[in-house]
Amino acid sequence: METLIQPKVLKGFRDFLPQDEILRAGLIEKLTNTYRAYGFVPIDTPVLEYTEILLRKSNGETEKQVFRFEDNGGRDVAMRFDLTVPFARFTAEHREELYFPFKRYHIAKVWRGEKPQAGRYREFVQCDFDTVGSDSASADFEILSLMKAALSSIGVDDITIHVNHRGIFNRFLTKTGCSDKSEDILRIVDKIAKVGEQEVKDELTEVTGSTSSAEQILDYIKPCDTFAQTLDKIEKLAGGPAEDSKRMRDIYAMMVAAEIDKAYVLDPSITRGLDYYTGVVYETFLNKLPSIGSVCSGGRYDNLAGLYMKDKVPGVGSSIGLDRLIAGLSQLGLATQKGSYLDAEIYNTSADLSIYYQKVAGLLRKAGVAVEVFPDSVKMSKQYAVTDKKNIPWGILISAEEAQNGTLTLKNLSTREQFQGITAEEAAQKILGK
Amino acid sequence: METLIQPKVLKGFRDFLPQDEILRAGLIEKLTNTYRAYGFVPIDTPVLEYTEILLRKSNGETEKQVFRFEDNGGRDVAMRFDLTVPFARFTAEHREELYFPFKRYHIAKVWRGEKPQAGRYREFVQCDFDTVGSDSASADFEILSLMKAALSSIGVDDITIHVNHRGIFNRFLTKTGCSDKSEDILRIVDKIAKVGEQEVKDELTEVTGSTSSAEQILDYIKPCDTFAQTLDKIEKLAGGPAEDSKRMRDIYAMMVAAEIDKAYVLDPSITRGLDYYTGVVYETFLNKLPSIGSVCSGGRYDNLAGLYMKDKVPGVGSSIGLDRLIAGLSQLGLATQKGSYLDAEIYNTSADLSIYYQKVAGLLRKAGVAVEVFPDSVKMSKQYAVTDKKNIPWGILISAEEAQNGTLTLKNLSTREQFQGITAEEAAQKILGK
C-alpha cells in the first residue's frame, strides 16, 4: 500500500468551504450586477504573463513578492499580482478592437508572496472597475458614484468615502516651496490616520527642514466642516481657482444633483502614497470599523498603457478589496452565511421508492423549485443532520401509499407544519409562496 | 524615453474581449444556477498546490504539461491541471467539517502546457459537479439528469448522452477470457467513433490474439435499437443479471419516470479510456456537431481521495468543457453575443449639462434602468459609434430647455421612435416595458 500524502494547502493559501464560498459568490454577483448597471463590461486576461510585461514598471517590493518562473518553453513568466498591469497590456494590445471611452470591470484572483499574517493572503480576489479614454468630471464622478452603489448593493451603507485631488495638493506644495520633496511629503501625510498628527508633524519638519512648512502642510490637510468649505480653503491655499479645483467643484455638484453627497468627505490628507495617481484619489472606510483600512480605493491616472503604446490613455478607476471587506463584514456580524441554494429536500425513507422520488424531483424542478433527493436510504437522523447543514427550509416525506396515489407530505422544517397528501404541483406553490 | 514593450499574451493563452467575456459569463451564470437548483454547492481551492499533491497519481503526460516551479520559500509547487485532484485533497483535508453525501460544483480555470492547436488552450475553464459519499443509483441518475438540465439551461437541447457501465463490460471481458487485457481493450474500443470499426477490429485481433474474441467484443459494443434492448443484450453477454446491470436498470427507470429518457442512449463502446472510472460512464455529443467530441463527460469512481485518507469515498461526477462547448455553439451559430448590459445611454450634447445628466442617470438607476452618461461632449457620430458597439437599445437626448424643465427625450435606437419632453420616471417605464 502506498503511503498517504498529508492533504494540506500552501502557506498563505486557503480553501473555501461551501458556506464561505456561497457568501463570497453572493457578494461577487451583487457587485457584478451593479458594475453592469453602470455600463461597465467584463474582460478577462491570462493568469500567467511574460514577466517583462508585469514587472517593468514595478518597484523592488513587488518583484520580491511575485510568483515567477521559467516555463517548459524557457519563457520567463509570472502570475499576475494585480489587475491593473494586465489591463494596461490588454488596452495597448487591443486598442484597435476596443472603443474609447472604454469601461471595464474585472473580478479575479491575483497572487503575491507576502508574509502571511492576519487578513493577508498570497491568493486573493480583486474587484476592479476603470474608465479609460476620458479625462472628465463625469467619468470621475461615475466611478465615485459606483463605489457607493456597489457597496450599498451588498448591504454596506454605513461608509465614508474620502476624496482628494492630487493636483490641488501639488499646486499648494509648489506655492510653499516644497514641491521638490512632494513624494516624501505625500507619503508622510498619507499615514496620518495611522500614526497620528504629532508623528506626521515631526516627520514633515525633518523632511522640509522647517517647522513652519510642516505647520502649513498640517493646516492644509485638515478638513473643515463641509465639503464646500474644505474645497474653498484648499483652493485658496493652493493659490486660487484652477482646472483641478474646478474639476473637484464639478464632481461635488454632481454628487449633490444625484443626492449622494452625504457619503463623501473632501479629505486633503488622502494621497494614496506614492502611486501613479494624478487627479482625484479616494479611499473608503467602514464607519463602524475604520481600523481595517480602506475597502475601496483608487484614483485618476494620466497614462494607463505608456509602457506598451505611444498614445496616452488617461483613466480613472477603483478597486474593492473583497477579502478585507469580508473580514470586516464578519467582524460586524453582517456576513450572512447559508449552506446551500435548496428550497426542499426529498427524504429517502425507502429504497423501493427511489424512482418515484426522482419523478417528484423532476416535477418540482419544472415548477421552479430547487430540490434534491437524499440519495441513500439511511437513518432519518443522519438525513436531517445533512439537511440542517444545508439550511434547507422544506422537507418532503413520501409513504408507499402516497407514492401509489401520486402525492406527498410537505413539511416546513422550521415551524414543523405539515401538508399531507398533496401533489407535487401543490407543494411547489406552497414552497414558492404562491 | 523608455522603449515600448510589445504587448502580447503567452502562446496558448487568450484575452477575452467584452463580447466574448459577456458570452462566457452568461453561460457560467446559467450553468451555476442549474447546479445550485440541484443542490450542488460551490467550493474553491487554491490555484497553486504542492506538486507532490497534484502529481502523485498522474501519468507522465500530465507531468510534462504541468506548470511547476520552486516558489520563493523553496517549495515545489504547481498550478492545478484539473479540478478533481484538488477536490480529492480538499475532501480529505476537510472531511471532519464536511457532511456526506457531499455535492459540490467548481467552475474555475486550470492550466496545461499542451501544444497549442485549434480549440486547445493552455488556460481553460472546467465546470465540474460531483457527488461524493454515496454509491447509489439516485446519485448516478442525478448527475446524468443535471448534465441534460445544465446544457438545456444554456440552450443546448439537441444532444445525445451516451451512457455505459464499466462493471458490465468487465464481467463480459472476464467471461470471454480477455480480462487480463482489459486496459488495452478499453482503450481500443473507446476510439471506435474516431477510427472506425475495421481499425478497432484489427487492433482487437492483435491484442487478444484471436479474430473470434475481436468479433465478440465488436458485437458486444454495438447498441441495439433501444436502451432496454441494449441493456438486455449486454447483461446476457456478461453472464446474466448482477449488481451492475441492476444499477443500470434503476438509472434507466428513473430516466423514464422523470420523462427525460429520450436524451440518453446505452452505448457499450463508451469506456472513458484508461480513467479511474469503475461504474457508469458517459459522454455527451452535440447532434449537429458530433465531430468536436464530447462536451460533457464523467462517471463513477470507487475512491476519490485514496492518496490522502484511509476511508474510501466513492463518488460520481461530470464536467462540462466550456471552451469546447463555446467553440461548438459558435460553429452552430448559437453563440449570441452582446456588447454590454446597458438599457440606455445618456448622450452628451453639451458639457454645460453634465450635472443634469448625472441627476437623470441617478433617477433612472433608482427605477431599475441600467444606464450610463457619455462622459465627453464629443461629436454625436463618435458617441453613436460607441453605443452601437455596446448594443444599447435606448438613447436619451437632453436639450438645455428640457434640462430647465426637468424633462428629456427618449429615443428607441432601433426603431428611431422618439418620446419628447417626458420625465425620467416616464422614460424608465417605457424602457422597462411597464
CA distance A35 to A39: 7
Using the beta-carbon criterion (under 8 Å), do A136 and B376 form an inter-chain contact?
Answer: yes
B85 in A contact zone (CB under 8 Å): no
pLDDT greater than 80 at residue B424:
yes
pLDDT, residue B303, reads: 87
Using the beta-carbon criterion (under 8 Å), do A11 and B339 form an inter-chain contact?
Answer: no
**Average pLDDT estimate for B99-121:** 90
- Tell me phi and psi for residue B100, to 5 degrees: -130, 145
Which residue of chain B has the CA closest to A67?
Answer: B71
Using the beta-carbon criterion (under 8 Å), do B375 and A139 form an inter-chain contact?
Answer: yes
pLDDT, residue A275, reads: 67
Amino acid present at A67: F
Within 8 A of B354 by CB-CB distance, chain A residues are 136-138, 250, 254
Nearest alpha carbon to residue A146 among B365, B402, B264, B69: B365
pLDDT, residue B191, reads: 87
CA distance A135 to A314: 6
pLDDT greater than 60 at residue B94:
yes
**Average pLDDT estimate for B109-128:** 88
- Domains (range + CATH), chain A: 9-158+287-338 (3.30.930.10), 344-431 (3.40.50.800)
> pLDDT band at residue B2, thresholds of 50, 70 and 90?
low
pLDDT, residue B274, reads: 64
pLDDT, residue A276, reads: 81
pLDDT, residue A334, reads: 86
List, in order, residues 6 or more apart from B331 with CB less than 8 Å away: B289, B292
Beta strands in B200-295 (DSSP E): 264-266, 277-286
B250 in A contact zone (CB under 8 Å): yes
- Tell me phi and psi for residue B44, to 5 degrees: -140, 150
Instruction: Report the first-to-last Cα separation within chain B, whole angstroms.
Output: 57
**Average pLDDT estimate for B41-45:** 98
Write out pLDDT tens, residues B162-195: 999 999 999 999 999 999 998 899 889 988 888 9
pLDDT, residue A3, reads: 78
Return contacts of B284-288, CB within 8 angstroms, 24+ apart. Answer: B284/B147, B284/B151, B284/B159, B284/B160, B284/B161, B284/B162, B285/B159, B285/B160, B285/B162, B286/B156, B286/B158, B286/B159, B286/B328, B286/B332, B287/B158, B287/B159, B287/B160, B288/B158, B288/B332
My answer on whether omega of the bond before A375 falls inside 30° of 0, hence cis, is no
CA distance A67 to A59: 15
Rg (CA), chain B: 28
- Most A CBs within 10 A among B76, B81, B369, B372, hence the mutation to make, goes to B372
Give the orientation angle of helix A424-431 with respect to helix A354-366, to 10 degrees: 50
Within 8 A of B372 by CB-CB distance, chain A residues are 38-39, 103, 142
> pLDDT band at residue B304, thresholds of 50, 70 and 90?
confident
Within 8 A of A260 by CB-CB distance, chain B residues are 362
- What single-letter DSSP state applies at residue B311? S
Using the beta-carbon criterion (under 8 Å), do A17 and B354 form an inter-chain contact?
Answer: no
From B78's Cα to the closest Cα of chain A, the distance in A is 11
Least confident piece of the model among A70-74, B125-129, B137-141: A70-74
Using the beta-carbon criterion (under 8 Å), do B15 and A94 form an inter-chain contact?
Answer: yes
Q: From the first residue on, what is the mean pLDDT of each consecutive set of 10 residues in chain A (434 residues)?
A: 84 96 97 97 98 82 91 95 96 96 98 81 96 97 98 96 96 94 90 90 94 95 96 98 98 96 96 84 96 94 89 95 92 90 97 96 96 96 95 97 97 96 97 92
Within 8 A of A50 by CB-CB distance, chain B residues are 8, 10
Is the Cα torsion angle B327, B332, B334, B338 positive or negative in sign?
Answer: positive
Nearest alpha carbon to residue B86 among B314, B302, B307, B277: B307
Nearest alpha carbon to residue A101 among A314, A342, A318: A314
Max Cα separation, chain B?
Answer: 93
pLDDT greater than 80 at residue B81:
yes
CA distance B68 to B62: 11
pLDDT, residue A183, reads: 87
pLDDT greater than 80 at residue B116:
no
Residues in B 156-215 with any Cβ partner in A closer than 8 A: none
Contact A408, A424 (CB under 8 A): yes
Contact A41, A65 (CB under 8 A): no
pLDDT-above-90 percentage for chain B: 87
B261 in A contact zone (CB under 8 Å): no
Nearest alpha carbon to residue A86 among B96, B9, B164: B9
Within 8 A of B308 by CB-CB distance, chain A residues are 4-7
B308 in A contact zone (CB under 8 Å): yes
A375 in B contact zone (CB under 8 Å): yes
pLDDT, residue A61, reads: 78
Least confident piece of the model among A356-360, A371-375, B253-257, B276-280: B276-280
pLDDT, residue B262, reads: 96
A146, A149, A152, A157 alpha-carbon torsion, rounded to 10°: 80
pLDDT-above-70 percentage for chain B: 98
> pLDDT band at residue B319, thresholds of 50, 70 and 90?
very high
Within 8 A of A3 by CB-CB distance, chain B residues are none
How far CA B256 is from CA of A352, A358, B251, in Å, comes to 16, 10, 9
Rg (CA), chain A: 28
For the record, the C-alpha cell of B301 comes out as 469512481
Write out pLDDT tens, residues B403-420: 999 999 999 999 999 999
